[in-house]
Structure 1
């Protein structure tokens, strides 16, 4: 069970104290105490993972509000269009009735009188029947359009109610914002207490762990059946991601100056002409899944059991990802983290 509140704060302080104790003596390698440094690294990973989970929840709430706002705008536009059409139809029907009255045409008389006064009774019956059908047809259209307008207004009211509830939920998610910022601040506090040699040792530990994980993953033969070519859309998504290399990770960001992990992948596929869900969890739940061994460039690799991280596969066992706060969009080994699965936006 992970510590929370004061317990977590005390743990962070303890790890920071361990970091201070890791000052290397002259002539001694900075990684002379790998167990203690590994504990600092593990705590940093936990803090950044917690921040990533909270970021995904915050982004999901924000995406729901944005989507619902679009639905409400669409419904309101439809209501206005129906009202304008009904006004035009009503005005046209009134104008036609007035024209008939002024011209004194038989169509404005009851059918039985048209028959009595007509020179050609058979023609009068035909004309009266046509006029009656035309009037009934116009009345039916007005009735249907009125009913449509009322239904649209009802749907708009319901959608607006849903939007207000989602906005309240998003405001409640401000707690997620606080969690994100607190976890990042705690991680940076730990890192700030490390000396230059300690930070380099920590980076070396990260690199070695990633290398070892990649070697184990590649050793399973997973890349033997992986695709090396992709679709035109997949190629455009990879090219977009490659153009973002070096840009900083910022939680909640979707570019163009900075990205979080799912902000990068969703924008990469949007640039390819395909809209996908905003968050890594929604991408995992909503996009077609493919076997890891069948992945191809452009596919998205989802990481960790809670689907809290995502990257775009670029081929040759590598990904482009926005990793975490303090890092930039970069190329990394695809097997360096725990893979949950692979999804294909253009399946």
Structure 2
């Protein structure tokens, strides 16, 4: 796309696509509405203190934040796709406008020439001509010019229709982009609210409770992947090796490497290092390959957790997975049965 940027012309003052102005205004209104509506969206930890331990409530908040993070990642991916499409359409529209202008100028020149040459009735012109043979030659040329003009008219009309189509599509894409950006903001606020609540609950833990959580959050310390069955393919083996290299990296919501990761960001990055593209979200990764029984899991397989597929890890062998667990923790190994498994996927 970038090779065509030079075709764009800066808009003249007071001009522009009305659709774009409308979309941007609507998007701004949507963001303002979301900002006010999210002010009260943060969970009330005070009410939550009536049941369970503070640690359990923290875990529930992290689980909810993970679900919101998956939605955020999906919205971010759609925003990126739509933004690229808008740029492509704008480049195409700029080139289309340049073509329409060029054809319009050519048609104007032909029309002026015909007017100057054809203003006099051909019969009278022939009678008055001092060179009838020369006039007949010029008349034949004018006929040929007329045929060429008709072809250029058809080309002009086709170019004009294509330009309008690009503009209409760009306006619609801009509208969808505004909607997705508002959704992205909503999910981001949801994640941040839950993480703030979890942090406040963590701050209330006793020293003993905090120490216990710290021990649990370290998971299984290993420098290498657990032994066991061989990977199902070379790319699965390479993906697992990449995930191994990420062990010890911090969790970062919405991050897909190379220095921090959320759960689906880790698995996407690892397979990307192996030259294989898989979707960004854990829900989409559930459909990224062939499903196999947990009993047949092999290193490099994706292990999808919970019925809503809100967490994903990579099977490392010997009943262990490597994954990015939650905020405050590092990429680590844990038992494959650490939470309910909903699917095992072999990309």
Decide whether aligned partners of structure 1 residues 231 and 61 sit closer, same or farther in structure 2, where only a CA change above 3 A counts: same
**2:232 aligns to what SS in structure 1?**
coil
TM-score (norm 2): 0.66
Tell me by how many angstroms 1:150 deviates.
0.4
The number of aligned residues is 289
Decide whether aligned partners of structure 1 residues 195 and 156 sit closer, same or farther in structure 2, where only a CA change above 3 A counts: closer
Provide, for residues 47-79 of structure 1, a one-character-per-residue CA deviation record: whole Å limited to 9, x for no partner. Answer: 321221222233333333232222222211221
Cα RMSD after superposing both structures:
4.0
Question: CA–CA distance in 2 between the matches of 1:343 and 1:109?
Answer: 76
Question: CA–CA distance in 1 between the matches of 2:109 and 2:248?
Answer: 67
Question: CA–CA distance in 1 between the matches of 2:210 and 2:185?
Answer: 40
Match of 2:258 in 1: 256
Provide, for residues 213-254 of structure 1, a one-character-per-residue CA deviation record: whole Å limited to 9, x for no partner. Answer: xxxxxxxxxx9xx7633144x444333322222110122222
Decide whether aligned partners of structure 1 residues 129 and 83 sit closer, same or farther in structure 2, where only a CA change above 3 A counts: same
Provide, for residues 246-293 of structure 1, a one-character-per-residue CA deviation record: whole Å limited to 9, x for no partner. Answer: 110122222222111112122223334444332212322x53442235
- Which segments of 5 or more consecutive residues in structure 2 lack a partner in the other structure? 1-42, 127-131, 221-227
Q: Does 2:49 align with 1:10?
A: yes
Match of 1:45 in 2: 59
Matches within 5 A, 1:75-86: 75-86=89-100
Q: Which of residues 152, 155, 164 in structure 2 aligns to 1:138?
A: 152
Question: CA–CA distance in 2 between the matches of 1:184 and 1:6?
Answer: 9
Equivalent pair of 2:65/2:191 in contact (CA under 8 Å) = no
Tell me by how many angstroms 1:322 deviates.
0.7
Q: Which of residues 157, 166, 169 in structure 2 aligns to 1:155?
A: 169
Matches within 5 A, 1:71-150: 71-91=85-105, 132-150=146-164
Decide whether aligned partners of structure 1 residues 344 and 92 sit closer, same or farther in structure 2, where only a CA change above 3 A counts: farther
Matches within 5 A, 1:1-347: 5=44, 8-11=47-50, 15-16=53-54, 40=55, 42-91=56-105, 132-189=146-203, 191=205, 193-194=207-208, 198-199=212-213, 228-232=231-235, 234-284=236-286, 286-292=287-293, 295-345=297-347
Question: CA–CA distance in 2 between the matches of 1:253 and 1:129?
Answer: 67
Tell me by how many angstroms 1:176 deviates.
0.6
Question: CA–CA distance in 1 between the matches of 2:211 and 2:100?
Answer: 76
Question: CA–CA distance in 1 between the matches of 2:230 and 2:156?
Answer: 58
